Amino acid sequence: MLDYAQARRLMVDCQLRTFDVTDIALLDAFDAVPRERFMPADREAFAYIDQPQAVGAEDGETRFMPAPMVLARLIQALALKPGDRALDVGTGLGYGAAVLRRLGVEVVALESLPG
């Protein structure tokens, strides 16, 4: 059985910290939010690999959750503070919105995929 807490810690230490994600609150948020819970039911074991993950399809187009490092760099670039507001368009299964919420950001998440 995969130890998700350990996998999450390795993601933070080996993928995020090594690619210039330096915001401590953001690193803590990625360490706290269980990415595996935002994966399709049969893909939890792939939650912490450094690759985008397919989360669904719409009109024949596959939708992806970005790799952890990409998402972390995007969020870090926003320089959000607790109490800020964010609109997450195409939120997929909600992982990015959950990370933002963990940072104290007020999030409105929009998704067109069913479910």
Q: Which two tokens stand for residue 68?
A: 């952890």
Q: What is the CA radius of gyration of the chain?
A: 14
Question: What are the structural domains, with CATH classification, of the chain?
Answer: 4-80 (3.40.50.150)
Burial of 92 (C-beta count, 10 Å sphere; 0-12/13-18/19+): buried
Give the mean model confidence (pLDDT) for residues 22-35: 98
CA dist 76 → 9, 69, 86, 115 (Å) = 18, 10, 13, 29
Give the mean model confidence (pLDDT) for residues 81-87: 97
Give the mean model confidence (pLDDT) for residues 86-97: 93
pLDDT of residue 57: 75
Give the mean model confidence (pLDDT) for residues 71-78: 98
- Contact between 90 and 113 under an 8 Å Cβ cutoff? The reply is no
- pTM (2 d.p.): 0.92
